[in-house]
Structure 1
Amino acid sequence: MPTIGFIYPDHAAEDDYPLAERILGDGTALPVEHIYGTDLHAVPELLDLGSPARLAEGASLLARHEPDAVVWACTSGSFVYGWDGAAEQVAGLSEAAGGKPASSTSFAFVHAAQTLGVRKVAVAASYPDDVAKLFVEFLGRGGVDVVSMSAADIDTAAEVGELPPEQVVTLTVDRDHPDADALLVPDTAMRTLGLVDDIETRIGKPVLTANQVTVWEGLRIAGVTRAYDGLGTLLRTEGRR
């Protein structure tokens, strides 16, 4: 089974990845290495967090795991660069990882929506409004129409990581929209993997969360196409394009 490496910024909800490894249960390894910067949800800090030097450091740390693929597990630290800049970011990460397939959480959301045939979405963002709007723009470049976006205006990733499960559920469920085909929850600092199935049951539609789509994207670029239970509609869908 493959080893998929994740570069995770600072510390918040990285325990979602060993949880995903246990839920997959097939021997797929999901090692996480950390890079550090200011965890403020603000554009200058996010540009620094996703810089080539920091991601090269993350790739170097992951090298000891001999990953088959590498993913930058940070949504805001990728979409803040815009579509073209995020593509350059991923290309640089692949090069730093010795030519291994690479991607980021922002592209994972677009690829996941395409796989599910989702065109209209609601976004439940934890970010301040100005940062959340950049995510909306990124999705639009990927052909995903945001019919509703709410921003919780939480300043730091650390604060998001401290949200209790019941508050995460409320923050997401209450921000669905009847015209949306799916609900997107874009912050990898938010613990969501153990809640996806519950949220989907409550709103009756697919839910795409940052750590969920990041794991899925890693499987996709590593060539894994099988379906898995316990991580929402997305992982139960066979085939990854």
Structure 2
Amino acid sequence: MNSSTITHMEAQLDGGMSEQIVIGLIALSTDVVTEYELRKMLPSDGVSISATRIKTQNPLTIENLRGHAHEIAEAADLFIPRESVNVFAYGCTSGSALISQNVLEAELHRTVPGAKLTSPMTGAYKAFTQLGITKISMLTPYPDEVTEAMIDCLAQAGITVVSCGSFHIENDYEIINVTPESIIAAGEAINSADVEALFIPCTGLRTSTVIDSLEARIGKPVITAHQAMLWDALRLAGYPQPLSGFGKLFTV
């Protein structure tokens, strides 16, 4: 076949994805959970996720987590055209606790000047403020070194971890195997009368199906990594509607 036998057709063009809010997810190379979880919580009217990856190293150590910072710019630069993404989301809770929002934004702006950025911890801090929360119980999957660093970071932000539990898993690709049922049981076990909310960090945990159930059982808000990051991303992108089925946070 040569070009003389190809019929050229006239395409009708519209705005393409311009009417969609696009969240540019920067996920970890070991993460097969975040897109799955976020899409379960996405509103059905005009919000989508487009993802890329950054390399992450195991085991989970503070040094390896801080190494994510310099890769943010290169990951964001892969989205072309740049204006196609409304807000970027760096999908690592412990990384976003150890690397400040200012540093993450500075790295992002090396290749995408002025771009909006959220993360699980950025969203969580805003969620605590929105809900008036200063005392929490926290359930992590991390080794003690990382959990202790998380407690310190929260304390610096004015959040007191009154009680804490951990599944103590050193490799993040194993965290995805933690069952939702064990998250519920552990979340209930560390609840106490003097905490105002339960915080479940880590984007490797499957939490979207347990938020409402846990809130009903403990009678307090439940803030999770995916939920807080998505809530903040939608706010930054100008999506105004509340969502049902994923905790009190999405209704305020």
Q: Determine which of 209, 221, 229 is the counterpart of 2:236.
A: 221
Task: Find the counterpart in structure 2 of residue 59 from structure 1.
Answer: 76
Correspondence list, 1:47-86, <5 A:
47-48=66-67, 50-52=68-70, 54-63=71-80, 66-81=84-99, 85-86=100-101
Task: Find the counterpart in structure 2 of residue 20 from structure 1.
Answer: 41
- Could you tell me whether the CA contact under 8 Å between 2:143 and 2:169 is conserved in 1? yes
**CA–CA distance in 2 between the matches of 1:213 and 1:62?**
23
Distance 1:75 1:63, change over 3 A: farther
Give the C-alpha shift of residue 104 in structure 1. 2.0
1:58 maps to a residue whose letter is A
* Corresponding position: 1:209 with 2:221: no
Give the C-alpha shift of residue 128 in structure 1. 1.2
Task: Find the counterpart in structure 2 of residue 44 from structure 1.
Answer: 63
- Could you tell me whether the CA contact under 8 Å between 1:16 and 1:211 is conserved in 2? yes
SS of residue paired to 2:136: strand
* Corresponding position: 1:155 with 2:170: yes
2:33 maps to a residue whose letter is A
* Corresponding position: 1:233 with 2:233: no
**CA–CA distance in 1 between the matches of 2:48 and 2:167?**
33
Give the C-alpha shift of residue 226 in structure 1. 2.3
**CA–CA distance in 2 between the matches of 1:170 and 1:33?**
33
Distance 1:134 1:224, change over 3 A: same
- Could you tell me whether the CA contact under 8 Å between 2:25 and 2:91 is conserved in 1? yes
Give the C-alpha shift of residue 64 in structure 1. 5.3
Correspondence list, 1:89-128, <5 A:
89-128=104-143
Give the C-alpha shift of residue 95 in structure 1. 4.1
- Could you tell me whether the CA contact under 8 Å between 1:70 and 1:97 is conserved in 2? no
Task: Find the counterpart in structure 2 of residue 184 from structure 1.
Answer: 199
Distance 1:62 1:164, change over 3 A: farther
User: Which blocks of at least 5 consecutive residues in structure 1 are unaligned?
Assistant: none
- Could you tell me whether the CA contact under 8 Å between 1:154 and 1:160 is conserved in 2? yes
The TM-score normalised by the length of structure 2 is 0.85
Task: Find the counterpart in structure 2 of residue 198 from structure 1.
Answer: 213
SS of residue paired to 1:61: coil
- Could you tell me whether the CA contact under 8 Å between 1:12 and 1:162 is conserved in 2? no
Give the C-alpha shift of residue 199 in structure 1. 1.2
Distance 1:181 1:91, change over 3 A: same
Give the ranges of 4+ consecutive aligned residues of structure 1 lying more than 6 Å apart after TM superposition. none
Moved more, 119-128 or 161-170: 161-170
- Could you tell me whether the CA contact under 8 Å between 1:94 and 1:101 is conserved in 2? no
Give percent identity, aligned residues only. 27
**CA–CA distance in 1 between the matches of 2:173 and 2:60?**
10
Instruction: Name the structure with the higher helix share.
Output: 1
Give the C-alpha shift of residue 31 in structure 1. 2.2
Structure 1 vs Structure 2 CA RMSD: 1.8
- Between Structure 1 and Structure 2, how many residues are aligned? 230
User: Which blocks of at least 5 consecutive residues in structure 2 are unaligned?
Assistant: 1-19
Residues 202-235 of structure 1: CA distance to partner in whole angstroms, max 9, x if unpaired? Answer: 1111000001111111112223232111111101
